[in-house]
Amino acid sequence: MKEELVYLGVDIAKSYLDAAIGNEKRRFANERIGHRELIKWVKQLKVPVQVICESSGGYERALVQALVGAQLKVSLVQANRVRQFARAAGILAKTDRIDAKLLCHFAKAMQPGTISASELEQEHLRELESQRRHLTHLLVMEQNRAARASDGCVRRLKSQSAQSNQKADRTTRSAH
């Protein structure tokens, strides 16, 4: 007989994670050691678990990478969808611990898809490409400014331009 998938909701803040599964709630630091503790707890549960969390301005990235790296099922959902679900269910209170529990209910009802390692890698490459475009844009601006600047200013701009080139090259190399 196949065991039923259990959802673990994680509400993510800048410095901590509130996790809920069933009636159990725990708080972890939102840093490597806290991620390891959360992963250890999930693996000790001895049931199939899918972790669900909201996109939260980038604070979720390291956790999601750690969970996927530990070969755990993970879903990342839009906060707005969860909030609409809560309103429809009549849940108006908003605290981190309530949000973690709410994520469990949302996942059980909506059964969101999981994130794969390749999707994380694609996201990382998109970020690197965006950074590369930004640095290239800055480089062109500095070169244009240097073309119409005085001699003393030109030396400073050339130095800044060289630094921008180096940053862009490092970004490109780190993507490979």
pLDDT < 70: residue spans in the chain: 1-3, 93, 95-97, 149-151, 154, 175-176
How is the chain split into domains, by residue range?
6-115, 120-174
- pLDDT tens readout for residues 25-66: 999 999 999 999 999 999 998 889 999 998 878 888 899 999
Q: Supply the pLDDT for residue 176.
A: 62
Spatial distance between the Cα atoms of 44 and 55, rounded to a whole number of angstroms: 26
- DSSP β-ladder status, 24-29 and 16-21: antiparallel
Determine the residue type at 105: H
Q: Supply the pLDDT for residue 37.
A: 96
Nearest to 79 by CA among 7, 9, 6: 9
Q: Supply the pLDDT for residue 36.
A: 96
- What's the topology of domain 6-115? Nucleotidyltransferase; domain 5 (3.30.420)
Q: Supply the pLDDT for residue 175.
A: 66
Residues 6+ apart with CB under 8 A from 30: 12, 13, 14, 15, 16, 17, 59, 62, 63
DSSP letters, the chain, are: -PPPPEEEEEEE-SSEEEEEETTEEEEEESSHHHHHHHHHHHHHT-S-EEEEEE--TTTTHHHHHHHHHTT-EEEEE-HHHHHHHHHHTT-----HHHHHHHHHHHHHHH-PPPPPHHHHHHHHHHHHHHHHHHHHHHHHHHHHHHHTS-HHHHHHHHHHHHHHHHHHHHHHHHT-
